Amino acid sequence: MGCYAKNIKRFADRFGTSSLAFIETKRLSTDVDGVVRQLSSFLSISPVIPSRLETAASSDLDAGQTKGLGAEKEPVRLNTVARAATSADAADVRKLKLEMARYYAPWNSKLETITGLSLGWNSLPLYTEALCQSAP
């Protein structure tokens, strides 16, 4: 979660939304070809063939090029104190999530307005519940 609209608005105000390309992160893994075509068109350049990039990337990884990328390290565990979660914990977490959803919902709407994207974040069950609870 984040207030992306705050930062993007500054760029949009300075350069205009027509000078910015908006790509949903999930498309980077689900529609690489479409993203490359969209960005190539936006930049008025010939598209790079993604299959060539994938081949180059996989050959680099196959050649042991992962050193220094963190792949050789164990993940850091921030919460090392184990304890059983209680129903009170679950209720507190749920309450916090609803508060966060109420806080971020207006920012999500602003982001959709600025980018012209229909992200659907405020349609997620948690957001709809939070927004219904905050309605007068």
DSSP for 28-86 reads HHH-HHHHHHHHHHHHTSPPP-HHHHHHHHHHHHHTTTTTTTTTTSPPP-S--------
Q: Which domain holds residue 27?
A: 16-67
Residue bearing the bigger pLDDT, 89 or 52: 89
Across the chain, which distance is largest between two alpha carbons, in Å?
Answer: 61
Range with lowest mean pLDDT among 70-74, 80-84, 131-135: 70-74
What's the pLDDT score for residue 3? 86
The whole-model pTM stands at 0.62
Number of domains in the chain: 2
Residue bearing the bigger pLDDT, 94 or 74: 94
Domain boundary, last residue among 6, 35, 67: 67
Is the same domain home to 63 and 94?
no
pLDDT greater than 90 at residue 72: no
Q: What is residue 135's three-state secondary structure? A: coil
Identity of the residue numbered 120? G
